[in-house]
Amino acid sequence: MSESLPPEPPPFAPFERLRSEQIYHSRWCGLRRDIVRLPSGSEQEYHVFEITDAVVVLPVLADGRVAMVGQYRYPHGKTHWELPAGRMNPGETPREAAARELLEETGLRAGKLSALPGFYPTNGISAHFAHAFLAEDCAVVAEPAPEDSEQLFRRFFTRAEIAALFDAGRLADAFAALPVAYWLRRSGP
Amino acid sequence: MSESLPPEPPPFAPFERLRSEQIYHSRWCGLRRDIVRLPSGSEQEYHVFEITDAVVVLPVLADGRVAMVGQYRYPHGKTHWELPAGRMNPGETPREAAARELLEETGLRAGKLSALPGFYPTNGISAHFAHAFLAEDCAVVAEPAPEDSEQLFRRFFTRAEIAALFDAGRLADAFAALPVAYWLRRSGP
């Protein structure tokens, strides 16, 4: 269907950065306030949240089941189903980070790791990018070994269960829902 | 298929917040550093990025075409296809914000506005939530009137074009890709 693939939109001229103030910086994240010149000629402040890029992995076992983790998230206080995911460590490639997060959070190792479309979760405020992977032929090689700040509960789901969770709007974490959506499209009706 | 809908994961006990420091606050965003007690008993800092909730709208015309906007995003510098979206203003309901953003960014008014599943774009670092809507029977009632800081280019797409963009991984903005994924699942094969 490549004949129906529309072109990219006409690119706009970038805003000119006139000044930049680093409001905060730490090993976890940073916050920057830039003063930019808009196409109208006026100046405006623009906040940019800085955070290292992330990876997310959709793990499929040899029997076709998918591993997800019930995970507690401090910012909103809820526990819900997610895919293994995390930020890349310094020096890591996205693929290395994906294999590490998969092992840490689920105890799985993939027979085959291939790219799914990545995404900008919040590109109005951050250049933060998520590299997504499909991990196939996964096998349990260890118990999950999450970091001290992570609370995880591993569970295996059939494709029908994953589709039911998605269709019911129960995958409220975008890092989980979007790779699941790509996988559902690619793995049949 | 409700018989295949899995339950929520067992809820974890929330982290206890011991102290909280407001690193930054403005009308656009804030940054907070909390000191929390982990289940292991140890203390750890946890950064939380604060930003008002957002809305995103998938607009479908009476003839079945979908409106998207080519949009420049300062944080990564690219122009790509997005759905009309934005943050909620004080006092607005999600539905009111959706109708406003739809009109501002595309010049469209919806005959019918219904909820799609919402999502947390980055729940590891923020409680920021996006309310998603499907706008049906949309009609052009005005020219797009974006804010001074927005550069937008409106285009109408067939369903096949939207599916081709999604399947090719060309909807890199999660706020666009995820509502499109729900709509593709609900509107046929």
Identify all chain A residues contacting B34, using CB atoms and an 8 Å cutoff.
74
> Inter-chain contact B155–A26, Cβ cutoff 8 Å?
no
> Inter-chain contact B9–A121, Cβ cutoff 8 Å?
no
Burial of A49 (0-12, 13-18, 19+ CB in 10 A): buried
pLDDT 10s digits, A23-49: 999 999 999 999 999 988 999 999 999
Indicate whether B65 and B126 sit together in one domain: yes
Q: How far is A143 from chain B (nearest CA, A)?
A: 18
Indicate whether B158 and B88 sit together in one domain: yes
Indicate whether A44 and A68 sit together in one domain: no
Indicate whether A93 and A70 sit together in one domain: yes
pTM over 0.90: yes
* pLDDT value of residue B3: 58
Indicate whether A45 and A59 sit together in one domain: no
Which residue in chain B is spatially nearest to A166 when comparing CA positions? B182
* pLDDT value of residue B150: 83
Is A146 near chain B, with CB under 8 Å? no
Indicate whether B161 and B79 sit together in one domain: yes
Indicate whether B12 and B103 sit together in one domain: no
> Inter-chain contact B155–A6, Cβ cutoff 8 Å?
yes
Which residue in chain A is spatially nearest to B44 when comparing CA positions? A149
> Is residue B85 scored above 60 in pLDDT?
yes
Residue A4 lies in a domain: no
pLDDT 10s digits, B160-171: 999 999 999 999
Q: How far is CA A77 from CA A26, B71, B160, in A?
A: 23, 33, 39
Is A89 near chain B, with CB under 8 Å? no
Domain of A17 in residue numbering reads as 11-50
Indicate whether A146 and A158 sit together in one domain: yes
* pLDDT value of residue A3: 59
- Say which CATH number the domain at B90 has: 3.90.79.10
Chain-centroid distance of CA A31 in Å reads 20
Residue A1 lies in a domain: no
Indicate whether A30 and A117 sit together in one domain: no
Identify all chain B residues contacting A153, using CB atoms and an 8 Å cutoff.
9-10, 12
Is A49 near chain B, with CB under 8 Å? yes
Instruction: Give me the residue from B71, B75, B168 closest to A125, CB to CB.
Output: B75
Find out whether A130 and A87 touch, Cβ atoms under 8 Å: no
Indicate whether A26 and A70 sit together in one domain: no
* pLDDT value of residue A24: 98
Find out whether A55 and A121 touch, Cβ atoms under 8 Å: no
**Lookup result for tokens 């006026």:** A42
* pLDDT value of residue A149: 83
Which residue in chain B is spatially nearest to A132 when comparing CA positions? B169
Residues 6+ apart with CB under 8 A from B10: A70, A79, A153
Q: How far is A130 from chain B (nearest CA, A)?
A: 10
Confidence band of A1 (pLDDT split at 50, 70, 90): very low
Domain boundary among B19, B35, B50: B50
> Inter-chain contact A8–B163, Cβ cutoff 8 Å?
no
Across the range B13-32, mean pLDDT stands at 96
pLDDT 10s digits, B71-81: 999 999 999 99
Across the range A119-130, mean pLDDT stands at 98
* pLDDT value of residue B1: 46
Whole-number Å distance between alpha carbons of B178 and B90:
25
B3: phi then psi, degrees, rounded to nearest 5: -70, -15
Q: How many domains does chain A have?
A: 2
Residue A167 lies in a domain: yes
> Inter-chain contact B125–A10, Cβ cutoff 8 Å?
no
Is B188 near chain A, with CB under 8 Å? no
Residue A63 lies in a domain: yes
Instruction: Give me the residue from B4, B40, B72 closest to A12, CB to CB.
Output: B72
Residue A5 lies in a domain: no
Is A5 near chain B, with CB under 8 Å? yes
Residue A166 lies in a domain: yes
Indicate whether A44 and A101 sit together in one domain: no
Indicate whether A30 and A110 sit together in one domain: no
Give strand pairing partners of B120: A173
> Inter-chain contact B161–A9, Cβ cutoff 8 Å?
no
